[in-house]
A and B are shown apart, each in its own frame.
Chain A
Amino acid sequence: GENVEQHPSTLSVQEGDSAVIKCTYSDSASNYFPWYKQELGKGPQLIIDIRSNVGEKKDQRIAVTLNKTAKHFSLHITETQPEDSAVYFCAARDSGGYQKVTFGTGTKLQVIP
Chain B
Amino acid sequence: DTEVTQTPKHLVMGMTNKKSLKCEQHMGHRAMYWYKQKAKKPPELMFVYSYEKLSINESVPSRFSPECPNSSLLNLHLHALQPEDSALYLCASSQDRQGGRELFFGEGSRLTVL
In the complex the two chains form, is B90's CB within 8 Å of A106's CB?
A: no
A89 touches B42 (CB 8 A): yes
Q: How many residues of B contact A (CB 8 A)?
A: 23
Q: How many of chain A's residues have a CB under 8 angstroms from any CB in B?
A: 24
CB < 8 Å neighbour of B90 from A43, A49, A101:
A43
**A106–B40 CB distance below 8 A:** yes
Q: Are B102 and A46 in contact (CB under 8 A)?
A: yes
Name the interface residues of B7-30: CB closer than 8 Å to any CB of A. Answer: none
State the CA gap A105–B37 with chains docked (Å).
11
Q: Which residue of A lies closest to B110 (CB)?
A: A41
Give Cα distance in the complex from A43 to B40, angstroms.
13
Residues of B within 8 A of A (CB): 2, 4, 40-43, 45, 48, 55-56, 90, 92, 97-100, 102-108
23 contacts between A and B (CB under 8 A): A31-B99, A34-B102, A34-B103, A36-B105, A42-B107, A43-B92, A43-B106, A43-B108, A44-B103, A45-B105, A46-B102, A46-B103, A49-B100, A89-B43, A95-B99, A98-B48, A98-B55, A99-B97, A99-B99, A103-B43, A105-B42, A106-B41, A106-B42
